[in-house]
Amino acid sequence: MSFYPPHRTLMGPGPSDVYPQVSLALARPTIGHLDPEFIRLMDEIKQLLQYAFRTDNELTLPISAPGSAGMEACFVNLIEPNDTVIVCQNGVFGGRMKENVERIGATAIMVEDSWGTAIDLDKVQAAAKQHPNAKAIAFVHAETSTGVQSDAKAICHIARQYGMLSIVDTVTGLAGIPVDVDAWGADAVYSGTQKCLSCVPGLSPVTFSDHAREVISTRKTPVQSWFLDMNLVMGYWGAGRQRAYHHTAPVNTLYALHESLTVLRDEGLEASWARHQLNHQALKAGLEAMGLQLLVAESDRLPQLNTVCVPDGIDEALVRQQLLKEFSIEIGAGLGQLAGKVWRIGLMGYASRESNVRSCVQALESALSKQSFQFPNGAAMLAIDEVYRQAASTS
Amino acid sequence: MSFYPPHRTLMGPGPSDVYPQVSLALARPTIGHLDPEFIRLMDEIKQLLQYAFRTDNELTLPISAPGSAGMEACFVNLIEPNDTVIVCQNGVFGGRMKENVERIGATAIMVEDSWGTAIDLDKVQAAAKQHPNAKAIAFVHAETSTGVQSDAKAICHIARQYGMLSIVDTVTGLAGIPVDVDAWGADAVYSGTQKCLSCVPGLSPVTFSDHAREVISTRKTPVQSWFLDMNLVMGYWGAGRQRAYHHTAPVNTLYALHESLTVLRDEGLEASWARHQLNHQALKAGLEAMGLQLLVAESDRLPQLNTVCVPDGIDEALVRQQLLKEFSIEIGAGLGQLAGKVWRIGLMGYASRESNVRSCVQALESALSKQSFQFPNGAAMLAIDEVYRQAASTS
């Protein structure tokens, strides 16, 4: 029997709500992965990704698998056995980077910060000084597990200063907050399609600097993954009409990515960042008016992923279940050491809009009331009104 | 600007024409990868894949990436550095298996057969005898580069006989010809969605025997790929309601796979094999009536992928270009050492139907006429008529 999914409002840590035009693009007729029309589409996707990442990097393309594979692509191509990598960890995904480094047979030097705070630049600097032979500094720009953003530009700068490569996870960052690959001087950056791009999950946009390309093409050992070997992937995604078959591209998902990037370019990157910021302000105002607290300090918050502290005595799983069952709204649970302690409310891409902010806050009011959580009646909506009113008056 | 692909008839080596209901399924609303409704879908997909593979293997699921990643998943999970693997090669994909083995730091013992012939069982037997410490025998059941099928049951039997694992590529086989994982006693089998399942490209169904699972869970070294580590993937796809997040599943593509497997079960595996066989017979009759020759001996042919020898003096690329431009029909070029020497005409899944057989043969007549290739006028259609007439009279 066919599967008919329920209609959800996706306000967790991703996937986010998909743009309606992206769903339509998905369903268009499949063509061959070497069809001249498909090659043209690939060229356009590359250009659109260069726009989204703010880079002129020639090696900019979507990996044919989810963000975790994008992460792995960056590590297995740049790092060789016995290399040393400085890995910053302030959440789940820094830990996954460590796993990647170690499975290559390389050594990870960990720079640890508490979950919920940004990466401490002094610690990174100190680690670089102490391990001058490290090949790369790897860090998460936008930590999906905590809702924290770190200073990507500064960390990439430290890497350059010590002659190290930088590997940047911005799976949740791209299109939601400034990502500025060339200005950062970043060497390898990966993202996902199912966050602020509001495309379906399944692809991982990546970009490599010219220096990173050179490092890849002059490796001493073969890349341990055949599927993710950029030397081979480049032959398919490279310049020119003559593309070498490497693997069968996920044709329809690439239609969807193309469409979502077109939506992004039509809106404009700056406008997209501003929209994410505005809806975050409204959500925050509503939550605070209810007496709820955000985990992350204001300066380090990701506007697209709001980590909300679960009040004492509240059954957090029950709240999520009620939101899903009664309002068909998905919000996220805490992950790793934050499991049970926070909710993660995403306002990503198409999901970052006023009606979602309001519906989610009202649904939370309903669910928390049932657990006798006290809050001033109607205050949240008034606080939200105020944010949008002010934004309208200044624009 | 949005991308509107041309409408093609996909008769190459894959992707094949997608079932219309699969396109519709793709466009359904995205839900979360941990949504209870999605968990239910995952359970159904697992059962449908067990049906398609003819297996009770608990570890049966789609890898969230194309067939090349499915191949890599089998190798990196079962093989460890310094292991030895007997790899049978009679086309491109056996060579890719060798790459996979070597990138693990293991040794590949090659058993080579000419491209266009089946794997010689005596050679496999001899290699197993000569390398009794090999951990596995890896081979391609349905070689997409040549259109050859090999005797999977017999090769898996040799592997068992010598206490070795079997790793089987049936990317092009599944649903087009008998695949019988449990009866073969195969240990690791992978396929693709974009061939005889007529789903979109992007996923790789895999199945592992209980013995293979045990080998994976008792490895001495960690799996070199975090993304493809079945120990972790199992936590997400495993039994029970409590699924551990590993990576974000390609939600919509999984809707599509579910739909295509539902179509397959509704038709029935045996009926699907018979349909592929019938349309192959018709195509073959048409092509031979035109004076064209198939590369592969009748006993070894894949009905879903017909390798046609390019006649002397014919510009094969021009023929493909004319088919694409004038008839919007895609057929495949030769790959590897068969490049320029053959065309590959796929009759896979939804593309395996009478109207496609006829359109393709007529389009070939048109293109070959332009290069002054001589053939008896009208003979091909009469030969095709005869095949379908006989089939109708015996059914």
* Chain B residues in contact with A41 (beta carbon < 8 A): 3, 5
Supply the pLDDT for residue B385: 98
Judged by CB atoms closer than 8 Å, whether chains meet at A100 and B226 is answered as yes
Supply the pLDDT for residue B242: 67
Tens-place pLDDT, residues B216-267: 999 999 999 999 999 999 989 976 556 788 999 999 999 999 999 999 999 9
Amino acid at A225: S
Tens-place pLDDT, residues A297-320: 999 999 999 999 999 999 999 999
Judged by CB atoms closer than 8 Å, whether chains meet at B330 and A29 is answered as no
Q: Are B191 and B69 in contact (CB under 8 A)?
A: no
Task: Report yes or no: A43 at the B interface, CB cutoff 8 Å.
Answer: no
Chain A nearest C-alpha distance from B138 (Å): 16
Residues 302-341 of A with CB under 8 A from B: 324, 330, 335
Query: Mean pLDDT of all residues in chain A?
Result: 97
Tens-place pLDDT, residues B86-129: 999 999 999 999 999 999 999 999 999 999 999 999 999 999 99
* Chain A residues in contact with B2 (beta carbon < 8 A): 21, 25, 258-259, 262
With a pLDDT cut of 90, the percent of chain A lying above it is 96
Q: Which of A67, A227, A248 sits opposite B72 (nearest CB)?
A: A227
A344 is in an annotated binding site: yes
Q: What residues contact B48, with CB distance under 8 A and at least 6 apart?
A: B258, B261, B262, B264, B265
Q: Are B53 and B197 in contact (CB under 8 A)?
A: no
Q: Which of A27, A194, A251 sits opposite B201 (nearest CB)?
A: A251
Supply the pLDDT for residue B238: 79
Q: Find, in chain A, the residue whose alpha carbon is nearest to that of B330.
A: A32
Mean pLDDT of A171-183: 98
Cis peptide before B15 (omega within 30 of 0): yes
Alpha helices in chain A (DSSP H): 20-26, 36-53, 67-78, 92-103, 121-130, 152-161, 181-184, 210-217, 230-237, 251-267, 269-289, 316-327, 354-370, 379-394
DSSP character at residue B298: G
Retrieve residue B331's tokens.
Answer: 């057929």
Task: Report yes or no: A39 at the B interface, CB cutoff 8 Å.
Answer: no
Mean pLDDT of B139-148: 97
Supply the pLDDT for residue B27: 97
Among A7, A17, A21, A26, most B C-beta atoms within 10 A, so best to mutate, is A26
Supply the pLDDT for residue A238: 79
* Chain B residues in contact with A23 (beta carbon < 8 A): 27-30, 252
To the nearest 10°, the Cα dihedral for B126, B128, B132, B135? 160
Residue A74 vs residues A101, A136, A177, A206, A237: alpha-carbon distances, Å: 10, 11, 21, 8, 16
Among B19, B247, B264, most A C-beta atoms within 10 A, so best to mutate, is B247
Tens-place pLDDT, residues B316-328: 999 999 999 999 9
Q: How many CB atoms lie within 10 A of CB B11?
A: 29
To the nearest 10°, the Cα dihedral for A174, A178, A183, A189? -20
From the list A218, A273, A265, A227, the residue with the least C-alpha distance to A246 is: A227
Residues 333-392 of A with CB under 8 A from B: 335
Query: Mean pLDDT of all residues in chain B?
Result: 97
* Chain A residues in contact with B261 (beta carbon < 8 A): none
Residue B197's pLDDT band (cuts 50, 70, 90) = very high
Judged by CB atoms closer than 8 Å, whether chains meet at B3 and A44 is answered as yes
Task: Report yes or no: B236 at the A interface, CB cutoff 8 Å.
Answer: no
Chain A nearest C-alpha distance from B103 (Å): 5
Helix (H, G, I), strand (E, B) or coil at B350: helix
- Would you say residue B361 has pLDDT above 90? yes
Q: How far apart are CA B52 and CA B2, in angstroms?
A: 36
Q: Phi and psi at residue A362, in whole multiples of 5°?
A: -65, -40
Residue A186's pLDDT band (cuts 50, 70, 90) = very high
Helix (H, G, I), strand (E, B) or coil at B288: helix
With a pLDDT cut of 90, the percent of chain B lying above it is 96
Mean pLDDT of A123-141: 98
Q: What residues contact B278, with CB distance under 8 A and at least 6 apart?
A: B387, B388, B391
Mean pLDDT of A50-56: 98
Mean pLDDT of A166-183: 98
From the list A199, A238, A262, A233, the residue with the least C-alpha distance to A16 is: A199
Q: How far apart are CA A180 and CA A51, in angstroms?
A: 10
Judged by CB atoms closer than 8 Å, whether chains meet at B247 and A68 is answered as yes
Q: How far apart are CA B22 and CA B249, in angstroms?
A: 18
Among B96, B248, B350, most A C-beta atoms within 10 A, so best to mutate, is B248
Tens-place pLDDT, residues A236-293: 997 655 678 899 999 999 999 999 999 999 999 999 999 999 999 999 999 999 999 9
Mean pLDDT of B184-202: 98
Supply the pLDDT for residue A245: 87
Tens-place pLDDT, residues B27-59: 999 999 999 999 999 999 999 999 999 999 999
Judged by CB atoms closer than 8 Å, whether chains meet at A69 and B102 is answered as no
Q: Which residues pair with B62 in a beta bridge?
A: B205
Q: Are A117 and A300 in contact (CB under 8 A)?
A: yes
| Structural domains of chain A, ranges and CATH numbers in brackets | 19-266 (3.40.640.10), 269-394 (3.90.1150.10)
Supply the pLDDT for residue B245: 87
